[in-house]
């Protein structure tokens, strides 16, 4: 049985535990006991902070973990990368993870790409006063818009700086030019330095001064031309930062002239042995998940992924379309195979 470490045990982590159980994985959970909603869903639970990378690494090494993952907790990204690098699991390098968590370093890495623009930005130092307004004040290591404030005039700067400082573990603050425009995000998966855009999301927020997200809309209503530019920009940003594996969430703003500005990159840790926490082979239909991906259909039938895509689009092949995604129900797939055998 393969083993997976899950960093965090709050309620948003529940889908990870349920999916791991469905896949027959043995789960090792690391999280403080307070608020550990999912600890009873884990096969093994450790009351350890998710930022204690050294202690977690020792346990994962001893237990010969095959993968380490988290969601909903950007703070877990460096720990996951550290453990993955130590155990030679598939994932992003530890240094890249640190850059992905530091908004200033991330902007520095992205500054050389030409696929989109960036706001003017600076790392705050004591006594610094912006020469222009409005600006965005944010912690360099925050998440979920915590500590983010739009400042329209100098008199409001001190309060925004205090708010950002309280939300930053590193006590470092980034000041950026405010960009007026439509806010969107691009959701993507990377595997061995190849990037696959899953969808583009139109976002709603509370607006100034704090920009708390209130709704997401998919698919995007943006023009196809803008969507293609966003996809291209996302891949360039991922390459610039050095993200080669895992799930990412990239935020942009589009101004009234159609200019695209990079706002933020979030990386969700997903580090596994051999590139996936999923089983690479199956000994029986009972081991298959209830819903198969096109790639899993290819593995079961021993055909190429290209041929698998052709097959699932043929008339009479059992499939379910969820937006642009295709999944294949296991039971119907088994019946289809039996019919093909009878046909000879």
Strand ranges of the sheet holding 26-30, from the earlier edge strand across to the other edge? 44-46, 26-30, 3-7, 67-69, 270-272
Rg (CA), the chain: 22
Does 274 score more than 50 pLDDT? no
The more confidently predicted of residues 230 and 326 is: 230
Residues 259, 187 share a domain? yes
36-95 pLDDT, tens digit per residue, is 999 999 999 999 999 999 999 999 999 999 999 988 778 899 999 999 999 999 888 999
Exposure class string for 122-153: b at 16+ Cβ within 10 A, else e: ebbeeeeebeeebbbbbbbbbbebebbbbbee
Question: Which CATH number belongs to the domain containing residue 337 in this structure?
Answer: 1.10.10
Confidence bin at 258 (pLDDT 50/70/90): very high
The more confidently predicted of residues 259 and 145 is: 259
The more confidently predicted of residues 33 and 279 is: 33
**Confidence at residue 277, expressed as pLDDT on a 0 to 100 scale:** 39
258 is a domain residue: yes
Residues 9, 59 share a domain? yes
Confidence bin at 275 (pLDDT 50/70/90): very low
CB 234 within 8 A of CB 188: yes
What's the CA gap between 336 and 317, in Å, rounded? Answer: 7
96-133 pLDDT, tens digit per residue, is 999 888 999 999 999 989 999 999 999 998 888 888 99
161-207 pLDDT, tens digit per residue, is 999 998 888 889 999 999 999 999 999 999 888 999 999 999 888 77
Residues 188, 173 share a domain? no
Last residue of a domain, one of 49, 69, 89: 89
CB 182 within 8 A of CB 200: no
Domain residues for 156? 121-177
Question: Which CATH number belongs to the domain containing residue 167 in this structure?
Answer: 3.30.1490.20
- The pLDDT mean for the chain works out to 87
What's the CA gap between 39 and 259, in Å, rounded? Answer: 46
* DSSP-based three-state secondary structure for 308: helix
**Confidence at residue 194, expressed as pLDDT on a 0 to 100 scale:** 92
Confidence bin at 234 (pLDDT 50/70/90): very high
Residues 229, 153 share a domain? no
Reported pTM? 0.71
Q: How far is CA 222 from the centre of its chain?
A: 22
Structural domains counted in the chain: 4
| Secondary structure of 228-289 in HEC code, one letter for each residue | HHHHHHHHHHHHHHCCCCEEEEEEEEECCCCCEEEEEEEEECEEEHHHCCCCCCCCCHHHCC
The more confidently predicted of residues 222 and 337 is: 222
Region 193-222: what's the mean pLDDT? 86
Q: Give backbone dihedrals phi and psi of 211, rounded to 5 degrees, phi first.
A: 60, 45
What's the CA gap between 57 and 54, in Å, rounded? Answer: 5
Question: Which CATH number belongs to the domain containing residue 64 in this structure?
Answer: 3.40.50.20
* DSSP-based three-state secondary structure for 200: strand
280 is a domain residue: no
């Amino acid at each position: 049985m393969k083993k997976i470490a899950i960093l965090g045990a709050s309620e948003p982590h529940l889908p990870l535990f349920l999916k791991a159980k469905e896949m027959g994985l043995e789960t090792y959970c690391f999280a403080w006991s307070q608020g550990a909603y999912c600890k009873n869903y884990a096969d093994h639970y450790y009351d350890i902070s998710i930022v204690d990378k050294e202690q977690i690494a020792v346990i994962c090494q001893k237990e010969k973990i095959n993968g380490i993952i988290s969601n909903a907790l950007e703070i877990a990204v460096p720990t996951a990368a550290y453990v993955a690098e130590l155990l030679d699991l598939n994932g992003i390098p530890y240094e890249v993870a640190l850059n992905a968590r530091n908004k200033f370093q991330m902007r520095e890495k992205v500054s050389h790409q030409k696929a989109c623009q960036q706001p003017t930005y600076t790392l705050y130092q004591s006594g610094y006063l912006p020469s222009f307004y409005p600006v965005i004040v944010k912690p360099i290591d925050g998440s979920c818009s915590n500590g983010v404030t739009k400042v329209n005039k100098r008199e409001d700067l001190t309060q925004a700086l205090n708010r950002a400082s309280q939300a930053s573990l590193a006590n470092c603050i980034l000041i950026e030019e405010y960009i007026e425009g439509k806010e969107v995000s691009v959701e993507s998966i990377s595997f061995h330095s190849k990037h696959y855009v899953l969808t583009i999301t139109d976002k709603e927020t509370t607006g100034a001064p704090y920009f708390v997200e209130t709704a997401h809309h998919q698919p995007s209503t943006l023009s196809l031309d803008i969507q293609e530019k966003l996809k291209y920009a996302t891949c360039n940003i991922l390459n610039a930062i050095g993200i080669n594996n895992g799930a990412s969430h990239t935020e942009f703003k589009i101004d009234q002239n159609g200019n695209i500005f990079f706002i933020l990159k979030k990386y969700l840790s997903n580090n596994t042995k051999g590139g996936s926490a999923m089983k690479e082979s199956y000994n029986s239909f009972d081991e298959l998940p209830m819903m198969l991906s096109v790639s899993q259909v290819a593995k079961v039938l021993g055909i190429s992924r290209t041929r698998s895509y052709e097959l699932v689009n043929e008339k009479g092949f059992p499939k379910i379309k969820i937006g642009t995604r295709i999944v294949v129900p296991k039971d119907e797939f088994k019946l289809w195979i039996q019919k093909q055998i009878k046909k000879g």
